[in-house]
Amino acid sequence: MGDQEEIRQDARATVPDGALVGVVGAGVMGIGVAQCFAEAGHPVVVTDNDPGALASGPARLRAGIRTAALLRRGDRRTAGGATGSRTESLVTWSASLADLADALLVVECVREDEDVKASVLRELDRVCRAEAIFASNTSCVPVARLGSFTGRPDRVIGTHFMNPAPLKEAVEVVRAPRTSALTLERTRAFLARVGKHALVVRDAPGFVTNRVLMLMVNEAAAVVGEGTADAETVDRIFQDCFGHPMGPLRTADLIGLDTVADSLEVLRRHTGEDRFRPCPQLARLVAEGSVGRKAGRGFHEYATPQHLVTRGGPGHD
């Protein structure tokens, strides 16, 4: 399969207007993904087993809609897209995966823990319609491994949205060996409806983005820990010398240092390579709760913490 192979058009891949989309996990990425689909006019059900995440979800969604409206240049909504109030009205909240029974697409956005993902996928396989696609927003777990937890590996695919999801136009789409051409084509169609383009890659631990990014973050953290440079200087080097919009350590703070550490451990487990072990500086920050923007501090200090639910029960990432 070529990385960007053209797939024969299949009428079954057409996405019906008003097709229900499910999102599992009301954390940072789950809320962002829900916003993307609701803005395009799709009804969305967001599930989470943490009552606190569900209770705060509507306010966080509202804040995301306001932020996206301020940051977008021009009108980038897809045709038929919803206004802010309409977007909010299209999203409902539930503690039960059974409420995703009629979804045509379910995007799994739970924390980067293979056991948690396995539990969610097995239950989705039991309650969802036979033609439903399970799209995982996993950072590093191979999609073939996730598909093995279901009876429909041909309908399991990786859709690695970037943060913040409503503002990023590309999605790293991961096709496992058993992911069908129809699943890939329909996933592309769903993404096109929300104004995203798919960059299709083969399945492997960490795929392209995090196989490279997590190593870079870990090495940048090690440089700080060894005293070669402080975090501000490390990031300025990447910005001023390489033209990056933000350096690796501010990027890590945005992702969440706990998520970075989890992703590195997943990579280490699936590759068997010790180079993915979180360095002491990264591990120390996570242990003391300095996990990035959401905590108000990480490699950098932030005046206003992002009070976003990202940990706790299985519904988080």
Is residue 148 among the annotated active site residues?
A: no
Catalytic: which of 49, 172, 218, 316? Answer: 172
The CA distance from 106 to 136, in Å, is 8
Q: Is 210 a catalytic residue?
A: yes
Tokens at residue 311, please? 């940990």
Q: Of residues 210, 218, 263, 290, which has the active-site annotation? A: 210
Name the active-site residue from 42, 160, 300, 316: 160
Among this protein's residues, is 290 annotated catalytic? no
d(CA 137, CA 134): 10
Q: How far apart are CA 313 and CA 120, in angstroms?
A: 11
Active site residue 172: yes
Q: Which two tokens stand for residue 180?
A: 């069908």
- The active-site residue, picked from 136, 137, 139, 290, is 139
Active site residues: 139, 160, 172, 210
